[in-house]
Amino acid sequence: MKYPKTNKKPVIENFFGTTVIDNYRWLEDDKSAATKAWVTTENEVTNNYLSKIPYREQLKDRLSELWNYEKVGTPFIEGDYTYFSKNNGLQNQDVIYRKKENSEPEVFLDPNTFSEDATTSLGSLSFSEDSKTAAYSISEGGSDWRKIIIIDTESKIITEDALIDIKFSGVSWYKNEGFYYSSYDKPKGSELSAKTDEHKLQYHKLGTSQKEDVIVFGGIPSEKHRYVFGSLTEDYKYLVISAQVSTSGNKLFIKDLSNPNSKLITILDHVESDTHVIDNRGSKLYLITNLNAPNKKVVIVDAANPTSENWKDFIPETENVLSISTGAGFFFANYMVDAVSKVLQYDLDGNLLREIKLPGLGSADGFSGKTRATDLYFSFTNYNTPASSFKLNPTNGTYTSYWKPSIAFNSDAFESKQVFYKSKDGTKIPMIITHKKGVELNGKNPTILYGYGGFNVSLTPAFSIANAVWMEQGGIYAVPNLRGGGEYGKKWHDAGTQFNKQNVFDDFIAAAEYLLSEKYTSSKFLAIRGGSNGGLLVGATMTQRPDLMKVALPAVGVLDMLRYHTFTAGAGWAYDYGTAEDNKEMFAYLKGYSPVHTVKKGVKYPATLITTGDHDDRVVPAHSFKFAAELQDKQCGENPTLIRIETNAGHGAGTPVTKTISQYADIFGFTLFNMGFKQLPNPPRAK
């Protein structure tokens, strides 16, 4: 491969007596002409390579064909209407519909009309108490910065100027009068990469200018936090404020809105737990917490004395991780049992009523609604079953099918198996392996090993059209539940953070070794893939064990571990990573696995396709740019190291379907091509 020449402009820094040279710091300037020219040139080289893959268009056609089925989201009720999202098949963005009972659905919001190129997407959608006014947020070009638009729901007419410069925010209505939202002051310099550090909760009164919005929390030094969120109890009695310095752990406050003179009451004044108010009955508060309960439990407390010493167990902690939802006056405890859902229903007194027997082994989501709701909805999916939705009668626990997809994919021809393997230190790690029935374990199956391992995120079984196409080609798809995730609670998460981060990479390496030893695949036919924190996982694994895989696919990755905390909201990830400024030991630990800093000259790295978006303001594209430059400079051997930079795209959410299909065709095409396939393993039949 002949790569573009990437100029080295050394920036020398000293960390605790150690000199670090950053040759590609200039690529961090997303506004510079030089960076833009570099992006253009790299994309040209990548596109030239990808265009020579003989089955690139075949993959794109099959992805488009399989993608082209109607998809309907889990419904929710507002006023006289049932609202739901729907996509006819290949629409770039899902459309919000609504219907009254016994009437035909009508379009409520069509994000495909928001911009000509369909890169403006819908974020949150929230309704006033009487459901006559709605506020929805939009993202332009994949950015985390949002606008909030307010409309009259009956006429669908915009009623006032959009609120702008809003980031990491929900919309929480107070009756019919206004709503709470969160944002940062707009940064000076680059909107994409400049640091955002001081979140503020604000209140917008309908019919007033955004300039008049009141700062409710975060406006004074003692209230400074990186993330601040506000929500209201369903009866509008309490405003609940959560304040965080990192992505894990929050302080918690409430304010009694029924008393205009009430002061903020502290529930928790430290960030040693994740604790949230989930419901109330008058002054009785129900909270979900992992304080002294790593797998989470539900507690009750009176709002007059809500600190933790007064909490009483309502749904005690078990050996399985709990998430909770409320609806129709019930609690639905969704337990993760080895990454698979089990749902129990409780009444308001904490009595276990029943288990909701799910359609199979997989992931269930939903079971939420207003207290007065008579019906609730939930969705169910697994790796070889597309998501369906069900209508639940909460009084007796029975449910009926509400919507089931009609898709040209034979789920019965595929199977999933959960295995447990041992990591380097002997820890048992679960992994779900999915493939066509009857696959021969001969070490020659193209395999994608996908992982994340961080931020308390749990990878539970879910259907993916793209992975279905991969498996149709005889591909194996394997997902281990690595430490750092949330599958086994806070202890599991903490076992993959900071000085324990190497555990995550060891777990992933051990997963690969298991697939090789059991003859699912071999190093010639193994690809590793992950995005965001999972992009770091891929970058660290391929630099530590380049011999283990043939292809590496790091997407929107956190790849410069010495500087990640200096961009946008990156400093909020310190709970998981620590920072190079903490102390000498943490600096050395981060540098020891930072993908940008561990690429070595003369090493044969796997064929690598780095993917990122030029508008990614979550994990700035400079991470991927610098990693690509290092690999291209130092790669030994014939394996290509390319970067595919999607224009007018961000971290992933809201990406148009057309862009998503093209990206998967390129990823799968690159993977199979570098595994030696001159044609598709299972070419589609001629029509």
Non-local (6+) Cβ contacts of 552 within 8 A are 527, 528, 538, 539, 541, 542, 605, 606, 607, 608, 609
Q: Among residues 143, 423, 532, 624, which one is catalytic?
A: 532
β-sheet bridge partners, residue 254:
240, 265
Tell whether the torsion through CA atoms of 64, 65, 67 and 70 is positive or negative. positive
**Among 69, 94, 46, 43, CA closest to 656:** 94
Pairing of strands 251-256, 265-268: antiparallel
What would the DSSP string read from start to end of 68-125?
A: -S-EEPPPEEETTEEEEEEE-SS-SSPEEEEE-TTS--EEEE-GGGSSTTS-EEEEEE
Rounded to whole angstroms, how far apart are CA atoms 145 and 136? 13
Rounded to whole angstroms, how far apart are CA atoms 627 and 582? 24
Active site residue 623: no
- Kindly tell me the burial class for residue 19, based on how many C-beta atoms sit within 10 Å of its own C-beta (0-12, 13-18, 19 or more): exposed
For residue 24, give both structure tokens: 């590609």
Rounded to whole angstroms, how far apart are CA atoms 495 and 517? 26
**Among 596, 622, 496, 499, CA closest to 542:** 596
Residue with tokens 């007059």: 304
Rounded to whole angstroms, how far apart are CA atoms 190 and 217? 26
Task: Supply the DSSP symbol for 416.
Answer: E
Task: Supply the DSSP symbol for 182.
Answer: E
Amino acid at 608: T
Give, in order, the Cα–Cα distances in Å from 396 to each of 328, 352, 375, 580: 12, 13, 11, 55
CB-CB contact of 606 with 549 (8 Å): yes
CB-CB contact of 538 with 454 (8 Å): no
**Three-state secondary structure call for residue 595:** helix
Active site residue 363: no
**Among 177, 171, 114, 123, CA closest to 145:** 123
Q: Among residues 199, 565, 615, 651, which one is catalytic?
A: 651
CA dihedral 196, 202, 208, 212 (to 10 degrees): -70
Which residues belong to the active site?
532, 651
